[in-house]
Copies of this chain bind each other. A is one copy, B any other.
Amino acid sequence: MSAPTFRPARREDVARIVELLAGDPLGAGRERFEDPLPDSYYAAFDRIEASDGNVLTVAELDGVVVGCLQMTFIPGLSNQGADLALIEGVRVDTTLRSQGLGGQLIEWALNAARARGCQAVELFTHKTRTDAHRFYDRLGFEQSHVGYRIKL
């Protein structure tokens, strides 16, 4: 496999990113990967672009988008005023799993967080994603917290 490259997502990547988000059991039940794509995805992309703390990134392999993740950079008073980064929406093309691409994507994200001066990175994974748990355990993340969610 050639080396992946990482770049900020562009508006023309949105459909492919939604395809990636929809490409797993949890995502399949909640996303709408349709043609035309629902406007709500483009509106969300525009809000990400307009916000100073959010970066949506894609991984490319030979010119094809094969992975994605979003980072949110969060200032806060806790830990003596340490910034942290939250990683969300991590996906790798299902046909390219177990080839190290996910690990490279997360390593890229950790370096991006260091470059922004963050002192920690946090992420939620659904309780049922046991493969993801093994993945993050292996990368040195600690299962230190319980992740709570409430729908509004």
- For A, the interface residue count at a CB cutoff of 8 angstroms equals 66
The residues of A with any CB-CB pair to B shorter than 8 Å are 14, 17-18, 21, 27, 30-32, 38, 40-45, 47-48, 51-54, 56, 70, 72, 74-83, 86, 88-89, 110, 113-114, 118-127, 133, 136, 139-152
Helix, strand, loop or mixed for chain A's interface?
mixed
The answer to whether B122 touches A14 (Cβ under 8 A) is: no
How many copies altogether? 2
25 contacts between A and B (CB under 8 A): A14-B77, A17-B77, A21-B78, A30-B78, A32-B80, A40-B80, A40-B81, A41-B80, A41-B81, A42-B81, A48-B76, A51-B52, A72-B86, A74-B88, A76-B88, A110-B152, A113-B152, A120-B151, A122-B147, A124-B146, A126-B144, A126-B145, A127-B143, A141-B150, A143-B146
Could you say which of B21, B31, B40, B121 contacts A150, with CB atoms under 8 Å apart?
B121
B126 touching A45, Cβ below 8 Å = no
Residues of B within 8 A of A150 (CB): 110, 120-121, 139-142
| A49 nearest CB neighbor, chain B only | B75
> Shortest Cβ distance from A127 into chain B, in angstroms?
6
Nearest Cβ in chain B — how far from A22, in angstroms? 10
Q: Which of B27, B72, B80, B126 contacts A74 (CB 8 A)?
A: B72
Q: Of B30, B127, B148, which contacts A80 at CB under 8 A? A: B30
